[in-house]
Amino acid sequence: MILSDFLKAVAQLSDRRFRRVLWRGIALTVALLVGVYAAFLYALNAMGAQDWIVDAIGGVTWVGSFLTFGSLALMLLLSVFLMVPVASLITSLFLDEVADAVEARHYPHLADTPNFGFFEGLRDSVNFLGLLIGANLLALMLWAFVPPLAPLIFWGVNGYLLGREYFQIAARRHLDRASAKALYRANRGRVWMAGVLMAMPLSLPLINLFIPVLGAATFTHQFHRLRGRISPSG
């Protein structure tokens, strides 16, 4: 069923309205990755720590080599780790537009949905981003002890966190906070598995650019499917 939700999201790429949101999401994702990467190189330069980086990967300096192939390769590598917080931010910014496109095509019987307040959404996003970064720092510590399990830890931790965020943001479009949390708790395992399936391609450079918007669409489908099991009338 999770795969079916994802395939519905992919199939909607034929929808001009959906593609417009997707390309905007990709453009902002690239801009955020470049910005964070530039800040990363600047911090290395300020700390005088770039010499050993240059020796390790060959020729990546702060300004002179920012757009060299070596620097771009490093940015793609770092995107594996940076895409998790970036995906969280993109989802928060674009989920309403994605969900509007999905619901207009697949759930036209639904009444117009009042979006919950901007500041409420911003507060939730900032709180979640802090949790996401903290959890990944703890995961990095675990990686040092069990390197072979690093991918599984990455997918498991971020699948749990991203799945919870994606699902509850989608649910909050139609339910109050308490009802959204209750529906999530009743389907925690399914949501976690869907989150893992979103986290896995986030670790693939270039492909990961498409996942925030496709993930938002996937969880919109999942919310309506799981809600329908409780309330078939929607």
pTM value surpassing 0.85: no
Euclidean distance between CA atoms 61 and 65, whole angstroms? 5
Residues 6+ apart with CB under 8 A from 133: 85
DSSP secondary structure code for residue 173 in this structure: T
Task: Quote the tokens at residue 36.
Answer: 């964070």
Residue 147: count other Cβ atoms within 10 Å of its Cβ: 10
Ordered by start, the domain boundaries in the chain are 2-29+78-230
pLDDT at residue 142, as a whole number: 73
User: Which pLDDT value is given to residue 125?
Assistant: 62
Q: How far is CA 18 from the centre of its chain?
A: 17
Close Cβ partners of 182 (under 8 Å, ≥ 6 residues apart): none
pLDDT computed for residue 129 by the predictor: 66
Give the pLDDT confidence score for residue 3 in this predicted structure.
85
What pLDDT is recorded for position 63?
A: 44
DSSP result, 15-52: -HHHHHHHHHHHHHHHHHHHHHHHHHHHHHHHHT-HHH
For the chain, 234 residues long, the average pLDDT of each consecutive 10-residue run is: 88 90 87 77 63 50 51 67 76 82 88 57 64 73 76 87 88 88 93 91 84 90 84 42
CA distance between the termini of the chain: 18
Distances from the Cα of 150 to the Cα of 138, 142, 153, 184, angstroms: 12, 8, 5, 27
Please report the pLDDT score of residue 232 as a whole number. 40
